[in-house]
Structure 1
Amino acid sequence: MISFSVSSTLARVLMILGATLGILLIAWMALHLSVAQLNWLEPARATTPYFACWRALLYTLIFAGWAAALRMQPTPADQQRLKRLGLIGFSSIILVELSRV
Structure 2
Amino acid sequence: MILFSVRSTLARVLMILGVMLAMFLIAWMALHLSATQLDWVQTARSSTPHFACWRVLLYTLMFAGWAAASRRRPKPEDQQRLKRLGLIGLSSIILVELSRV
TM-score interval for Structure 1 and Structure 2 normalised by the shorter chain: 0.7 to 0.9
The aligned amino acid for 1:62 is M
Question: 5+ unaligned residues in a row in structure 2: which ranges?
Answer: none
Whose RCO is larger (CA < 8 A, sep 6+)? Answer: 2
Q: Report sequence identity in percent.
A: 73
**Segment drifting more, 86-95 vs 34-43:** 34-43
Shift of 1:18: 2.5
Give the TM-score taking structure 1 as reference length: 0.83
> Aligned equivalents of 1:7 and 1:69: distance in 2?
30
What CA deviation, in whole Å up to 9, does each residue of 1:59-95 have, x standing for no partner?
Answer: 1111122112212222211111111110011111111
> Aligned equivalents of 1:15 and 1:75: distance in 2?
28
Question: 5+ unaligned residues in a row in structure 1: which ranges?
Answer: none
Give the TM-score taking structure 2 as reference length: 0.83
Post-superposition, which runs of at least 4 consecutive aligned residues in structure 1 deviate over 3 A? 4-12
Shift of 1:48: 0.5
